[in-house]
Structure 1
Amino acid sequence: MKIKDIINLEQELSFNFFWKEVSETEEGYGLIVDNTTYKDVASIASVGFGLSAIPIAIENGWISKEAGKQRAIKTLETFLKNVEESHGFYVHFVTMKDGKRTWQSEVSVIDTALFLMGALVVGEYFGAEVYDLFEAIYSRIDFPWYLDKQNNQYYMGYSYERGFWGHWDGYAEQLIMYILGVASPTYPIAPSIYYSFERKIGKYKDYELIYTYTGSLFTYQFSHAWIDFRNIVDKDNVNWFENSTKATLANWEFCKDMHSQYKTLHEKSWGLTACDSPDGYRGDFGAPPSAQNNTIHQTDGTVPPCGAIGSIVFTPEIVEETIQYYYENIPELWGEYGFKDAYNLDRNWFSKTYIGIDKGIEVLMIENYKSGLVWDITMKNKYIKDGLEKIGFKTRK
């Protein structure tokens, strides 16, 4: 099969995850499972990716525009009326049945932002009633509530039992949180908060970049699924797209260098990021430069296809070769929704599960690679334009 056909098939089957693994109960309609192992638990981030995938599916002819619109309307109504929230911020994991908290989950700023980007995309795409529902959800989020005023930073998390903890004090996947917060029509935050997190610089091989704590590729990908950073820089002249490209190449080089220790890691099997593993979900897989810079903790040899595929806009040729390799050489990875979450040859292990955010970054990034659709929809939005301008982003000269 030609590489373009494999990519299109992977994208369509990944979209099917969001279209099929969905709640149709009265109170939870539109909620999407976090992963296929726990079918009764939804992730609001998974819903954000799923909503963003609706225009992609329509434009590719996988679903009708009317079906997509109805799914968007009903899902946003569920979030407006039923999904558990505090000060407008949603609980990360909720039950598929009624949108109420499960797993003693946190009220999450980042997952709320990921959901909200999905609401924004369908709002901008369909307009009218869908846009009104997006604005109603957006306008009730009290962004300053989630701030540590002394540090001028977002807290990392909040739960009923613990209160607030930690801080978003370094670069990671959270850039959308500043753009949305600054542009809020009701409860805005100051643009200075974007400049308050630390930008630590590190190097691996030839690649010097502003690195994230774990070096997981998702941290360099998620905000980029919606915001087109290719030709804009902030007041410090940082181009985040170039930064993510360097992080992707560093990850690739690291995996090649680790082949002598792990059979799964090599030139066409790479992309260390948070994923399922033989020992359960791991959020700390990554590559240097990172806070750890320690190969013992960065990987156990597990590779998730979403790591590379989510970087297809940054290093298209390398990613295309990798997708072809997985498809032609690792049949155990393939299933109902395309590539399963991960594999590890040293442990003779192949994941049986699909994870929403991992399928989601694939669907969106493949479409941006093919057509730029999600970028085009997002960058037309008045709040995104306003947020970027207030923070000080400008077109690079």
Structure 2
Amino acid sequence: MTKFLSIAFFLTFCVASLQSQKYVVPGYIKARGYDAHVKLTFDNPDAFTYDIYASTNGGKTFIMRAETSGDDYLDFVNDLGRNLSLVYRVVPKGMNVLSKDAEKFQVKAQTHVFTDEELLDMVQKYTTRYFFNYADPDCGMARERNNNPNGNIVTTGGTGFGIMALIAADHRGYFPHEAVFHKIDQIVTFLQKADRFHGAWAHWYNGNTGKVFNFSKYDNGGDLVETAYMIEGLLTARQYYQDGNAEEQALCQRITKLWEGVDWNWYTQGTDSLYWHWSPTYGFKLNHRITGFDETMITYVLAASSPTHPIRPEVFKCYSISSYFYNGKSYFGIPLALGMPYGGPLFFCHYSFLGMNPHGLVDKNANYWTLNRNHVLIQRAYAIANPKHEAGLSKDSWGFTSSDDPLDGYTSHQLGTNEENGTISPTAALASLPYAPKEILPVYRHFYYDLGKKIFGPYGFYDAFNLGLVQGQQVVHSYLAIDEGPIPVMIENYRSGLLWNLFMQNKDIQLGLKKLGFQFQIKQESSYVQ
């Protein structure tokens, strides 16, 4: 009898001890439902380990979803159904999810079936967070990538794209108007103080010091193409804020000084061509002429548009002196007037055309809307044909452009070469939305609904994936500013034409395009500032 009493006392003591275990309830636990996923965020500064459970029946039973020591989690709930009413419990590891204590760690979420417009809005907002939430907090510039081994490196061109994404975000009300303005104001302040080279910025900078971080051994000075991408964003911002309050108009004046300070003509070396780089140490040693139809067309347009240091129209003629300017062939029955075989990496029809509207843009060489649309359709046709029999390629799963790669680090993935290895770069198709929405909206759906659990993260779709690799190595979990930026910008251009309209309303740009022999369209809007 004494033995049984001892055992009973011991069990009672153990239960009481378990019930009296101490724990910390996070300062907040939030959940937001979308369609195929729920975003959970919770206060976890000490990196405690939490088990995440979900219930589809009001909390009667729970399903283990994940274990994490982070402070957020994206739970893809396709396996649970659609239009879900979910109860989540984010409990400290070791706590019984059905206990009374666990109720203190509870939050609810509702999912609903998205329209295509809602899907686009979600992707646009998620991706723009890279330039708002993940931007360098002190200088506002976009970090070159989220996994940079060299420290706090910020990027010029990617930030220019980010400025345009932020303007669209302000237009959509994603973030407070004052906060977006402050971010762009921060960037302009940094650009005013950063090292410049005859007005041009370098490719990369140390975000803490404003000093150049070398892109390569001889590339430690001005990068005219990256500068063009920055100016593309700045001129769009100037147009957006021109009728704003006194502070916003003062920002426009500062942007004008930066724009007028770029000595485009210096980068001709006194010849009939623009050159990509100039170094205060090595001069024009790289001697990289900007020729051929690729990502650089905007550089010539801006150089011709400069109110202070314009190039002569004759300089633009050298742009076509290249083995990959004229094409004239057809691929899968689709004609291509200009460019590399198959058109080259798909960012060629993004970077110059984030602000410069290809609708109605025509010169003696091409109709640029038709050219870019055909480039996009050629890539889709290639994926359907799948000549190398790569896993995962289909009419709804494709996109070949320069990006990170699970096999080869960073590469172009150019069709018709060994660099095309089955890797898909989401930015390629997603940023091409305006050119072929009927063909590309299914890509958005496939990437999100079918592959989202693998390839969708805190700032939207990861940089690249290859379904032909072993499961644990299929996805490169990186984000690059230069790849992130075109996605929200081109989504907005598809939805409203906002960035195209703003950029094309610049009188300097209109004069430059006329000087180079372009026909173009302008859509007038009174003011976009809310």
Is this a same-fold pair by TM over 0.5? yes
Out of 244-253 and 163-172, give the one that drifted further: 163-172
1:137 aligns with 2:258: yes
Structure 1 equivalent of residue 316 of structure 2:
194
Find 1:178's aligned residue among 285, 300, 303.
300
Q: For 1:133, give the aligned amino acid.
A: R
1:57 aligns with 2:160: no
Structure 2 equivalent of residue 68 of structure 1:
180
1:102 aligns with 2:213: yes
How far off its partner does 1:259 sit? 6.1
RMSD: 1.8
Structure 2 equivalent of residue 232 of structure 1:
361
Going from structure 1 to structure 2, the CA distance change for 1:53 and 1:104 (only over 3 Å counts) comes to closer
Structure 2 equivalent of residue 374 of structure 1:
499
Going from structure 1 to structure 2, the CA distance change for 1:316 and 1:65 (only over 3 Å counts) comes to same
Deviation per residue, 1:302-360 (Å, 9 max, x gap): 00111001110111111100010011111210110111111001123101111111111
Which of these two proteins has the greater Rg computed from alpha carbons? 2
Please give the residue correspondences for 1:1-397 in structure 2 after superposition, counting only pairs within 5 Å. Answer: 1-25=114-138, 29-38=139-148, 40-81=152-193, 83-105=194-216, 106=219, 107-127=222-242, 128-150=249-271, 152-159=272-279, 160-161=281-282, 163-198=285-320, 199-201=325-327, 202-209=329-336, 210-212=338-340, 215-234=344-363, 236=364, 238-258=366-386, 261-287=389-415, 294-297=416-419, 299-330=420-451, 331-348=453-470, 349-395=474-520
Moved over 4 A (4+): none
Contact 2:405 2:411 in 1 (8 A): no
Measure, in 2, the Cα distance between the counterparts of 1:103 and 1:300.
29
Contact 1:117 1:226 in 2 (8 A): yes
Measure, in 2, the Cα distance between the counterparts of 1:93 and 1:225.
21
Q: For 1:309, give the aligned amino acid.
A: L
Contact 1:227 1:375 in 2 (8 A): yes
Measure, in 2, the Cα distance between the counterparts of 1:189 and 1:101.
26
Deviation per residue, 1:195-230 (Å, 9 max, x gap): 322232132121221114770000122111111121
Structure 2 equivalent of residue 290 of structure 1:
none
SS in 2 for 1:286: coil
Out of 310-319 and 186-195, give the one that drifted further: 186-195
Measure, in 2, the Cα distance between the counterparts of 1:148 and 1:174.
18
Deviation per residue, 1:132-158 (Å, 9 max, x gap): 1111111111111111444x2212333
Measure, in 2, the Cα distance between the counterparts of 1:95 and 1:10.
29
Contact 1:69 1:126 in 2 (8 A): no
Higher helix share: 1
Measure, in 1, the Cα distance between the counterparts of 2:115 and 2:409.
32
Specify every segment of 5 or more residues in structure 2 that has no aligned partner in the other structure, as ranges: 1-113, 243-248, 522-530
How far off its partner does 1:295 sit? 3.9
Going from structure 1 to structure 2, the CA distance change for 1:390 and 1:346 (only over 3 Å counts) comes to same
SS in 1 for 2:255: helix
Q: For 2:448, give the aligned amino acid.
A: Y
Deviation per residue, 1:259-302 (Å, 9 max, x gap): 65210222111110001101354342123xxxxxx3423x0110
SS in 1 for 2:433: coil
Measure, in 2, the Cα distance between the counterparts of 1:388 and 1:146.
19
Contact 1:332 1:350 in 2 (8 A): yes
Out of 318-327 and 255-264, give the one that drifted further: 255-264
SS in 2 for 1:132: helix
How far off its partner does 1:237 sit? 5.6
Structure 1 equivalent of residue 39 of structure 2:
none
Identity %: 25
Specify every segment of 5 or more residues in structure 1 that has no aligned partner in the other structure, as ranges: 288-293
Q: For 1:278, give the aligned amino acid.
A: P
Out of 160-169 and 87-96, give the one that drifted further: 160-169
Measure, in 1, the Cα distance between the counterparts of 2:475 and 2:137.
30
Contact 2:462 2:478 in 1 (8 A): yes
Measure, in 1, the Cα distance between the counterparts of 2:408 and 2:207.
22
SS in 2 for 1:89: coil
How far off its partner does 1:104 sit? 4.6
Contact 2:197 2:278 in 1 (8 A): no
Deviation per residue, 1:24-73 (Å, 9 max, x gap): 33xxx112101100151111111101111222111111122222222222
Measure, in 2, the Cα distance between the counterparts of 1:259 and 1:238.
29
Going from structure 1 to structure 2, the CA distance change for 1:157 and 1:254 (only over 3 Å counts) comes to farther
Deviation per residue, 1:236-273 (Å, 9 max, x gap): 16211110001111111112222652102221111100
Going from structure 1 to structure 2, the CA distance change for 1:373 and 1:104 (only over 3 Å counts) comes to closer
Give the count of matched residue pairs.
383
The TM-score, its normalising length taken from structure 1, stands at 0.92
Structure 2 equivalent of residue 291 of structure 1:
none
Out of 2-11 and 207-216, give the one that drifted further: 207-216
Q: For 2:185, give the aligned amino acid.
A: I
